[in-house]
Structure 1
Amino acid sequence: MADFPNRARVVIIGGGAVGASSLYHLCKAGWTDCVLLEKNELTAGSTWHAAGNVPTFSSSWSIMNMQRYSAQLYRGLGEAVDYPMNYHVTGSVRLGHSKERLQEFQRVVGMGRYQGMDLTILSPDEIRSRYPFVETHGLTGALYDPYDGDIDPAQLTQALAKGARQMGGRIERFCPATGVRREGEDWVISTPKGEIRCEIVVNAAGYYAGEVAKWFGRDLPMMVMSHQYMLFDTIPELEAWTRESGHKLPLLRDVDSSYYLRQEKMGFNLGPYENPCRAHWATPDDPMPEDFSFQLFPDDLERLEWHINDAMERVPLLAQANLTKVINGPIPYTPDGNPLIGPMPGVPNAFEACVFTFGICQAGGAGKVLAEWVTEGATEWDMWSCDPRRFTGFEDRDYCVKKGMEVYGHEYAIHFPHHAWPVGRGKKLSAVHDRVAAAGAQFGPYNGWERALWYAREGDDTSEAAQRTWDREGPWFGAVREECLAVRDACGILDLPGFSRFMLTGAGAAEWLAEQITGKLPSVGRLGLAYFADDKGRIVTEMSVARMGEEQFLLITAATAQLHDKEWLLRHMAPGLSLFDATDQWSCQILTGPKSREVLAACSDADLTKGWLTFQKARIAGAEVYLFRVSFAGELGWEIHSPVADTAAVYDAVVAAGKPVGLRPFGMFALNSLRVEKGYRAWKGDLSTDYTVLQGGLERFVDWTKPDFRGKAALAAEKQAGVGKRFVTLTIEAGDCDPPYMSTIWHDGKVVGETTSGYFGHRVGKVIALGMLRADLNVAGTRVEVEIFGRRCPAVVQEDAPLWDAKNERLRA
């Protein structure tokens, strides 16, 4: 076709709310040479049948940021682009039936306040002042969100599309992408109207994103759920109340009963998230149709009967209404329920903005995030919660379907800190999983790897229900204390499968790696921590670097960071260098505690006089292993790295040698306690792109004498201007609960920082938080308060040294 563009800077595949928002924000960033392809009319996928709710509520800091931005954008979008929009900011009442639910609400209120939103908690007696038709039996309270509301999804999409066109973006409707190929530095996208070349391509294809991903050789971690909501006719009493009050009812969510109830004109919209639920297009007998534009599934109300009855008991007015319409449409789900926004793993110049379960409320923020990824290579907020690289390829079809159904059936569930969801487990097992399980291990998944969280003793409650609490002293508490004290007084062993490990080799490897990290490289035979910053000086990742030779390095990083860190390294790799992923070939145990040297002396031929931050080859049970003289627990210790095939024999030999001196297995909960006492940071908690290297208290890992390293200019400018907030260790009089991630820190009635980790330190006998605090207050002895579930708890700033073994004498023994 004569007017069809044959070239663009960016092509977006998919014309729903997210695709339109991506185009809008790219154009807003000045990238106007962008084209959006839509196979049908705009909104033809999940957008057209979406209910259009726009909550800001989330227990995830990054997703709350994204949804808050969306709500702000939508309030002014219609006027900004001159397009009529039905956006009703009604507020919402989110009901709670338990103490634990109110604690979740209180946590979110604190997070919202930090992001500039005035959310409030309602007592049972106050709920009817906001929602006069609700029955309050069985309720412990509610959360009121004045920013919540609903929007017409089609109008939203068209407004974003109009705004993009006004800035120069182009939209091709009724123009399906039918395939892609790579030619040189270009992507070539086939359509019925002709081919279009581009530098960058974005998969925003909604529930068809999995099909599009196959063109790039990618198996997308997603599935599709059937979601129903019901529309009810006019109710005279509701109509009269609305006319008298001059506004609609707030949206009501009964999250413990798993549904929302929204006023729709003068009737209601009821949307349950039922369990059991139904997946679609999940088997060979139920394939995804070639085109499902503007289509729905048949009604299936039988499975919603309980929710309908419960809603009628909660709001008796609903029982007066006639059901007029049922919407039953496809909604895509990832295995954790969060969307995919960011670089397409393993594919150059390709991005994903797809698999949105809540696409309308997240579309505005998602477009902003996607545009930042494309135009700047990084995002304002750390968006690991949505990064496609958080899934690493083990998530097969069966896993995706089962996890998607689990997430849907628990859509409003509380995510407790010690609870491990049961579906889709056992995907990756350590070579000694059977031994660890026999010792009482209670497991949790890390990038699919099953790791011991804690070891149950006789009589400990290991039921899933017992994990569903915010309280510190759950059934694990006593066992974790014993594990920590065993590490303190004798020694412990932690089976740690799944460390991500990469071998970097080639002429110039040392010079290149030195430019990527902020600090110094270790000498041959030694190891050290290395921090990778982005161009703004923000913390990208932390790796252990073992220098195996002058130009040979072993890089070890978190299990969950496998794809993220591999992609970072490969994206910046100098020509001629080689990176080999050896993750699946090796396993690891942490052996740590004051008697760990005795254990190794009894079972290995190692030179145990070699000091801290060294490594060596040794033999255990006839197998060649690497011993790294480090300990994340902060005691004398070694990491024992063994080939997977030898790991069982090595483990057995170490355990047998440790029996006479009191060796005890310990788990990840104990390791968390031990590491916060040492101020050791955790990735994507304490270490994230929300903070710079200097804010993170990591200047001792910065070598200012190097000619250059990534982020140096930004960090130098920050240092000269003055660092506004800095890493802090606090001890807290915390009551029954440890501080969750992003608990606000107060001083003189003002929010002055946030926690990034918090746990009970069993060696020091105190609740400890790591976090970020305004620099002028970050002085030892300063008294602040940490808000924990609505209560401000007294806290004290600690010295800039570990609470345990401040001089590292035990560590270096």
Structure 2
Amino acid sequence: MAELPSTARVVIIGGGAVGVSSLYHLAKSGWTDCVLLEKNELTSGSTWHAAGNVPTFSSSWSLMNMQRYSTELYRRLATEVDYPMNYHVTGSLRLAHSKERMQEFQRAKGMGRYQGMDIDVIGTDEIRRRYPFIETHDLKGALYDPSDGDIDPAQLTQALAKGARDMGAKIIRFCPVISVRRDKDEWVVSTEKGDIRCEKVVNAAGYRAAEVGKMFGRDVPMMVMSHQYILFDEIPELAAWSREAGQKLPLLRDVDTSYYLRQEKNGMNLGPYERNCRAHWATPDDQMPADFSFQLYPDDLERLEWYLDDAVRRVPILGTAGLSKIINGPIPYAPDGNPLIGPMPGVPNAFEACVFTFGIAQAGGAGKVLAEWVTRGETEWDMWSCDPRRFTSFASATDYAVAKGMEVYGHEYAIHFPRHAWPAARNRKLSPIHDRIAALGAQFNAYNGWERATWYAQPGDDTSEASTQTFARSGPWEKRIREECLAVRDAAGILDLPGFSRFNLDGPGAAAWLETQVTGTVPKVGRIGLCYFADDHGRIVSEMSVVRHSDDLMTLITAAVAQWHDFEWLKAHMPAGATFELIDRTEEYSTQILAGPNSRKILVEVCEADLAAPWLTHQETTIAGRWAKLVRVSFAGELGWEIHTKVADTATVFDALWAAGQKHGLKPFGMFALDALRLEKGYRAWKGDLSTDYTILQGGLGRFVKWDKADFRGKTALLNEKQQGTKKRFVTLVIDTPGECDAPYMSTLWHNGTIVGETTSGGWGHRVDKSIALGMLRTDLAVPGVTIEVEIFGERFSATVQEDKPLWDPENERLRS
């Protein structure tokens, strides 16, 4: 057994498939001085009892990328590291019972084809041809994925381990980690076999990740579910079919019923995700034992009976088989079901690669992504879907993590509809005027835990959760969103916007430093400006509004969900010994947006500010005796102001605005209306239109680049791209003859039968009465008037490239009025 070295460049804690894949990919990157520590034997956590399914399907572009990479790696891994593995590429069928499920499959097909995968949507005749034992009378069709299959988790882990060792990396088994500490800007990891000093540490501890996280002072947002699958004895008809066909059946997933059914040798393996699920180790009376290696929970078959009965009706030969064994083991869940891969929030040179619900399918891609984070500080694909910083402190509360984990597990295969709000563990962060806007009919969704109104229902409107189970534009909200948008256009609207992330940058040299971090210019004192942050490759990292109060005091305002991400980006690039400081003041303030041609008339009645001050200025005033900051900017694209107040004063200010606004047609509007309004102006949304998948120039943000600045982050890369020309470019598209659905994120763009780009967001613009899509298009086609096709849930719609100016108020006359 290998001895514990005294030093290493990176230490990985946890020896499951993900931890070992991380070690393997670090070694492939040339970082061979890395050590993995495992408290027991490799695979002893969740890996050893995992079913080993390897799907590529996902409704997330980044997760699909990661899983696709896994399948590609696993196909070549045995040869690459000279270690035999049982990897069966059988293909899979995902069954659809509804039109909406077929739409989801068509979207996944489009994304998969874009990524080079031969995914297809098939009818019932083709289902029966590929799976002769199935009943199809109540099905609409299925998604067929030829790359799906199953792999032996232990063999996969050992193959990755052999590959890592052969390149010089070390694995120390039976070496529990006791503690970690910082010493002289390094980590000291203490184990039962001694200490090891290193530059960087990775928490890959699986379902024990929260325990390891506490060693760093980090509360990992996670919980542990009990997941069972059932193994069945050999079925003679299946054995005969396999001998004749020379293959296994495709892996079957009845996603609307919520289980998978896989051929296991000549028997079956049934794995339900049951609604009546069970969390473990979540209460003071049910604590995680000191060691649960290679252990299982007691069988709990009663929870699975309904799913077993349904599976037997779907595949009747299953009913002839005897039950062989039940596997019931722990699987970790984050509050949204996605893993945690990336920088550990608030902890220097520490990373997470943990809380994997589908660890075997994602291990290969996760190792690649984690190695990129560690060795380069960035990833090839934008991986916000898995970034640990997407959750802030509220998500680590045990009751929140448990409730959301159980919700995700019980709806593991659920369709994610654009207007649907998941109900569990809500009302974590409430606006000071939450009750007031709820009384006005507000329907809510959570943004970084903050409850924001999405739309305002009127008496008689259907606000049931069932009403949101659609991709269609129409629904009880459609009429209301239109009314809200037109109120903003014709009179005035007010939007409650709690949770804006805001940081104060204060101290000598602050402005000079910020100039080196943004592509454009820091606004002058008394002004507000939109600033873009690029990485060293010129890719879009973030967009922040900079409110400059004095020479070296600025407030940086960014998206609610970007709070930890953007704060850490700024903090990480501040110089050592900086004479200025960065302070997170998000919790101290709230914001309301007042927009529309009558907004000035309303403000005149409640304050004595200079309301003739031009666009992109800011000033302090008092409203109803309370301090307020008026910022003349409007994401809604109309004359308007952001009104920033202390949290304690927000209700008083709102009441004054609301009372004054009634004779001026003031109406409340929500986030859905704001999204429609910003699309008409071509304003970008973070981690949709703005992500590291695109450069500043591809994003159409060249006007925010000050080329004659001495230097700024990403300048060299952007100059090179400017000289060589961009391969794709941001465009606004109008769907010529819209269907019932608008274009979702990552809808494929076609021209003459060739894929030429993708959408980054889409929706209906009620002021222009058009279906709009923002996207990235091959540069030679990004010309006004060019016709392309947008694939929306499998159907292609003609669309026209628009001028490089807003569809609504193209000269910004209304904004400046």
Counterpart of 1:374, as a letter, is: V
Which residue in 2 is equivalent to 1:260?
260
Question: 1:458, 1:51 → 2: CA distance?
Answer: 49
Q: What is the SS of the residue equivalent to 2:394?
A: coil
Calculate percent identity across the aligned residue pairs: 73
- In the alignment, which residue of structure 1 is the partner of 2:242? 242
Hey, what does 1:209 align to over in structure 2? 209
State how far apart, in whole Å, the 2-side matches of 1:806 and 1:271 are: 55
Q: CA deviation at 1:457?
A: 1.2
Aligned to 2:474: 473
Quick check: 1:765 aligned with 2:766? no
Deviation at 1:4, TM superposition (A): 2.4
Aligned to 2:556: 555
Q: Is the 8 A contact 1:617 1:625 kept in 2?
A: yes
Structure 1 counterpart of 2:593, one-letter code: I
Q: 2 CA distance for matches of 1:564 and 1:722?
A: 30
Preserved contact between residue 510 and residue 580 of structure 2 (Cα < 8 Å):
yes
User: Does residue 1:434 correspond to 2:430, yes or no?
Assistant: no
Matched, 1:272 2:272: yes
Counterpart in 2 of 1:360? Answer: 360
CA deviations on 1:643-697 (whole Å, 9 max, x unpaired) are 0110000000001111001000000000000000000000000000000000000
**1:776 partner amino acid:** D
User: Is the deviation greater in 151-160 or in 180-189?
Assistant: 180-189
Q: Find the aligned partners of 1:90 and 1:474 in 2 and give their Cα distance.
A: 40
Give the structure 1 partner of residue 704 of structure 2: 701
Equivalence for 2:533: 532
For 2:197 and 2:81, locate their aligned partners in 1 and report how far apart those are by CA, in whole Å. Answer: 29
User: What is the aligned residue count?
Assistant: 813
Residue in structure 2 matched with residue 778 of structure 1 by the alignment: 782
Alignment of 1:200-599 (within 5 A): 200-395=200-395, 396-574=397-575, 575-599=578-602
Contact 1:734 1:788 in 2 (8 A): no
**Equivalent residue number for residue 808 of structure 2:** 804
Shift of 1:576: 2.0
**1:604-629 CA distance string (max 9 Å, x none):** 11100100000000110101100000
Structure-2 residue corresponding to 1:637? 640
Could you tell me which amino acid in structure 2 is paired with residue 747 of structure 1? H
Give the secondary structure class of the aligned counterpart of 1:394: helix
Q: 2:659 aligns with which of 656, 660, 663?
A: 656
CA distance in 1, matches of 2:64, 2:738: 25
The amino acid across from 1:545 in the alignment is V
Write the distance in 1 (CA, Å) between the matches of 2:18 and 2:733. 41
Residue 737 of structure 1 corresponds to: 741
Secondary structure in 2 aligned to 1:476? Answer: helix
| Aligned 8 A contact 1:95 1:142 in 2 | yes
Structure 1 residue 573: deviation in Å?
A: 1.1
Match of 1:86 in 2: 86
Correspondence 1:109 to 2:109:
yes
Q: Which amino acid is the alignment partner of residue 537 of structure 1?
A: G
Shift of 1:125: 2.3
Q: Secondary structure at the match of 1:47?
A: coil
Per-residue CA shift, 1:469-493, capped at 9, x if unaligned?
A: 0000111000000000000000100
Q: Where do residues 709-720 of structure 1 align in structure 2 (5 Å cutoff)?
A: 709-720=712-723
Deviating above 2 A after TM superposition, structure 1's stretches of 4 or more consecutive aligned residues are 1-4
* Gap runs ≥5 in structure 1: none
Q: Deviations over 1:343-376 (max 9, x none)?
A: 0000000000000000000000000000000001
- The CA distance in 2 between the partners of 1:444 and 1:796, in whole Å, is 33
Within 2, Cα distance between the matches of 1:307 and 1:4? Answer: 48
3-state SS of the aligned residue for 2:706? coil
Return the letter of the residue paired with 1:414.
Answer: I
Does the 8 A contact of 2:55 with 2:361 survive in 1?
A: yes
Shift of 1:3: 3.9
Amino acid at match of 1:331: I
Structure-1 residue corresponding to 2:619:
616
Deviation at 1:581, TM superposition (A): 0.7
Question: Contact conserved, 1:35 with 1:169, CA < 8 A, in 2?
Answer: yes
From 600, 622, 628, the equivalent of 1:625 is 628
Taking the aligned partners of 2:781 and 2:738, their CA distance within structure 1 comes to 20
Post-superposition offset of 1:325: 0.5
What letter corresponds to residue 787 of structure 2 in structure 1? R
Counterpart of 1:686 in structure 2 is 689
- Supply the AA of the counterpart residue of 1:429: L
* SS of structure 2 residue aligned to 1:519: coil
After superposition, the Cα gap between the structure-2 partners of 1:2 and 1:719, relative to the gap in structure 1 and judged at 3 Å, is closer
The amino acid across from 1:354 in the alignment is C
Deviations 1:212-262 (A, max 9, x none): 000000111000000000000111110000000000000000000000000
SS in structure 2 of the partner of residue 811 of structure 1: helix
CA distance in 2, matches of 1:606, 1:596: 13
Q: In the alignment, which residue of structure 2 is the partner of 1:167?
A: 167
Q: Contact 2:3 / 2:172 at 8 angstroms: preserved in 1? A: no
Q: Which moved more, 1:121-130 or 1:746-755?
A: 121-130
Superposition pairs of residues 150-189 of structure 1, within 5 angstroms: 150-189=150-189
3-state SS of paired residue (1:531) = strand
Residue aligning to 1:602: 605
Asked whether the equivalents of residues 343 and 387 of structure 1 are also in contact (C-alpha less than 8 Å), the reply is yes
Distance across 2 between alignment mates of 1:497 and 1:354: 31
Alignment partners' CA distance in 2, 1:2 and 1:290 = 24
Question: What's the RMSD between the two structures over aligned residues?
Answer: 0.7
CA distance in 2, matches of 1:179, 1:344: 16
Deviations 1:388-434 (A, max 9, x none): 00011012110000000000000000000000000010000000001
What TM-score do the two structures reach when normalised by structure 2? 0.99
Amino acid at match of 1:797: V
- Find out whether 1:727 has 2:730 as its counterpart: yes
Query: Any conservation in 2 of the 1:81–1:159 contact (CA below 8 Å)?
Result: yes
Aligned to 1:32: 32
SS at the partner of 1:49? coil
Could you tell me the TM-score, scaled by structure 1's length?
A: 1.00
What SS is found at the alignment partner of 2:758?
A: strand
Instruction: Note the 1:53-68 alignment, pairs <5 A.
Output: 53-68=53-68
Q: Following the alignment from structure 1 to structure 2, what is the Cα–Cα distance between the partners of residues 618 and 576?
A: 30
Q: Counterparts of 1:4 and 1:346 in 2: how far apart (Å)?
A: 28
1:754 maps to what in 2? 758
Q: Distance in 1 between matches of 2:178 and 2:132?
A: 53
In the superposition, relative to structure 1, how do residues 2 and 730 fare at CA in structure 2: closer, same or farther (>3 Å)?
closer
Aligned-partner Cα distance in 1 for 2:600–2:193: 71
Supply the distance in 1 between the matched residues of 2:264 and 2:281 (Cα, whole angstroms): 31
State the 1:2 CA deviation: 9.9
1:157 maps to a residue whose letter is T
Report the CA distance between 1:523 and its aligned residue. Answer: 0.4
Letter in 2 for 1:398: D
Counterparts of 2:738 and 2:775 in 1: how far apart (Å)? Answer: 15
Distance 2:566 2:285 in 1: 38
Structure 1: distance between partners of 2:537 and 2:732: 25
- Residue 638 of structure 1 aligns to a residue whose secondary structure is strand
What one-letter code is carried by the residue in structure 2 that aligns with 1:644?
A: V
For 1:34 and 1:756, locate their aligned partners in 2 and report how far apart those are by CA, in whole Å: 38
